[in-house]
Amino acid sequence: MASVMNTHDGGPGDQIFRVETHGIDFIAESERWATPRNIGAMWAGTSINVEYFIYGALLINFGFSFYTTLSIIIIGNLSYLLLGLASLQGPEAGTTAFTISRAPFGSHGARIVSFFNWITQLGFETEGLILIVGAVTVVIEMSGGHINSPTKVILVILAAAIQAVMPYLGHATMVKVLRALILPFIAIFVLLGVYAVQHGTAVPAQSWGHGWEIYTAGLAFTFALSGLGWTECGNDYTRYLPREAKKSSVVGWLFLSTAVPEIIVMTLGAAVFTFIPKLGTSSNPFEAMRGQHFIPSWAVVVFLLFAIVQLFGINSLDLYSSGVSLQALGFRLKRYQAVVMDSIIAGLLTLWAVFQSTFNLYMGEFVAVIIVWIAPWFGILIADWMLRKFRYNAAELQKTDASSIYYTGRSGVNWSSIAAFLIGLVASTMCFSKAPAYNFPLHWMTPISNHYSGADFSVPAGIIIGALAYLILEKLTGQVARQIEQQKELEPNL
């Protein structure tokens, strides 16, 4: 076993190119094969990604100049520090994010937020499949082929089947493959960067200028689709780190491996948008690259082929996390069975999106869902972790019956955290932007944003108000304090 452990490429229950046997169960110290650098490399493989290239184009489509967009990209990607913070509980608890959520929400209450996360991961999977089908469509059409509706259905089915392979195999396989994709994608993005330098402009034709209100909406968009939007997945991967892993190393490697490459890739997408503006407005974002004369056809085809491979890679993380979220919901499925089930559902959602919606409209609606629930959940998770002085009882987290110290009350639901979550969710929704790029139809739900002409305070409002409400309610009920005393009885050396 030592020889397996020393490779930092998998352990006994999680070997490369074999089906991972672990689900949301506890990962024993003897099987903690990963290092912070190792996990960082996996995240780097997801950050040098075509999705962020498209996000950069969508962001500049708000109407900002290139340099204003650049400032939003840099500030927005500082949110990867939040991913670092939301990855520090895994080594201590040895389990996934929404099993850990049993501590603040109760053994059964955690199922509520697990459902929100499952829906979110399905949304990200659908986004990836939409882009995969879009890229394949353009490559076929550039080769002289024709795509009709039945062909699109076949493409969606094939893509949904292929995307399930890596998450079906598991964590170690994804780490290995995503790490291998880093250098090829650096090369292809450098090639695109050459054309961006040649043809890009600081003030695109679509730039009409905005005040601070829409600037905050751009920041919220970037926060949601970068660091904040990944916080609910962080512990799913760091649970394979040893308990004594240095916290600063975990946060540092995750931040450097995500924020830096994503800033570069989003900036490249924004730069390309300045001379190919349809990149941020087309129903199929890649369609805009087919009819332009700035980038040669051969370079577009090479880019799209690489993009297809990389999109399958990033979708593997979403499928993996949605699978363990289904388990945390209480479904009696093995992790790989949950992956297959979710891949089928994501395929059906993609069929709907491909034929009924445009990509930028889909993303606008999806961003709203991400922000309003993840922000308060994150605030509550971190506040609870701090109240517990950064300690959990891993064995108790695995229990779902009344014998667990985290069961909470008669129902297994911590109603204080549920109330705080709803308060934070409402606060985040009230502060959500009505910016045109979001296409948010229910403006009556966003009175604070309306009052400030579309300004968006949803992220800080959700995090801060959710956390404060939880701290106040826990102070009144003393639930966490009682659980800490119970934990001391179980662990006298605590």
Domain range annotation of the chain = 2-360
| CA 145/CA 152 separation, integer angstroms | 13
**Residue 434: its pLDDT value, please?**
61
Q: How many CA atoms lie within 13 A of 235 on its CB side?
A: 27
| CA 132/CA 447 separation, integer angstroms | 37
Residue in this structure with the two tokens 């948010």, named with its chain if needed? 440
**pLDDT tens, N- to C-terminus, the chain (494 residues):** 333 333 456 555 555 656 667 778 899 988 888 899 989 988 988 888 888 888 898 888 888 888 899 999 999 999 999 999 999 999 999 999 999 999 999 999 999 999 999 988 888 888 888 888 889 999 998 888 888 888 889 988 988 888 877 666 665 676 677 777 777 778 878 888 887 888 767 656 555 556 888 899 899 989 988 999 999 999 998 999 999 999 999 999 999 999 999 999 999 988 888 888 777 666 777 888 887 788 888 888 988 888 888 888 778 878 888 888 888 888 888 877 888 888 888 888 888 877 776 666 666 667 777 888 999 999 999 999 999 999 999 999 999 999 999 998 889 999 999 999 999 999 999 998 865 444 555 566 788 887 888 889 999 999 999 999 999 999 999 999 999 999 988 886 65
Three state DSSP letters for the chain: CHHHHHCCCCECCECCCCCCCCCCCCCCHHHCCCCHHHHHHHHHHHHCCHHHHHHHHHHHCCCCCHHHHHHHHHHHHHHHHHHHHCCCHHHHHCCCHHHHCHHHHCCCCHHHHHHHHHHHHHHHHHHHHHHHHHHHHHHHHHCCCCCCHHHHHHHHHHHHHHHCHHHHHCHHHHHHHHHHCHHHHHHHHHHHHHHHHHHCCCCCCCCCCCCHHHHHHHHHHHHHHCHHHHHHHHHHHHCCCCCCCCHHHHHHHHHHHHHHHHHHHHHHHHHHHCCCHHHHCCCCCCHHHHCCCCCCHHHHHHHHHHHHHHHHHHHHHHHHHHHHHHHHCCCCCCHHHHHHHHHHHHHHHHHHHHHHCCHHHHHHHHHHHHHHHHHHHHHHHHHHHHHCCCCCCHHHHCCCCCCCCCCCCCCCCCHHHHHHHHHHHHHHHHCCCCCHHHCCCCHHHCHHHHHCCCCCCHHHHHHHHHHHHHHHHHHHHCHHHHHHHHHHHHCCCC
| CA 6/CA 10 separation, integer angstroms | 9
Count of C-beta atoms within a 10 Å radius of residue 438: 25
Cβ proximity of 83 and 231 under 8 Å: yes
| Cross-strand bridge partners of residue 476 | none
Say which residues have a Cβ less than 8 Å from residue 368's Cβ, sequence separation at least 6. Answer: 432, 438, 440
Count of C-beta atoms within a 10 Å radius of residue 138: 23
Cβ-in-10-Å burial (0-12, 13-18, 19+) of 334 comes to: middle
**Residue 323: its pLDDT value, please?**
84
List the structure tokens of 96: 């996934």
List the structure tokens of 494: 């605590």
Task: State the pTM of this model.
Answer: 0.86
Say which CATH architecture domain 2-360 belongs to: Orthogonal Bundle (1.10)
Count of C-beta atoms within a 10 Å radius of residue 330: 12
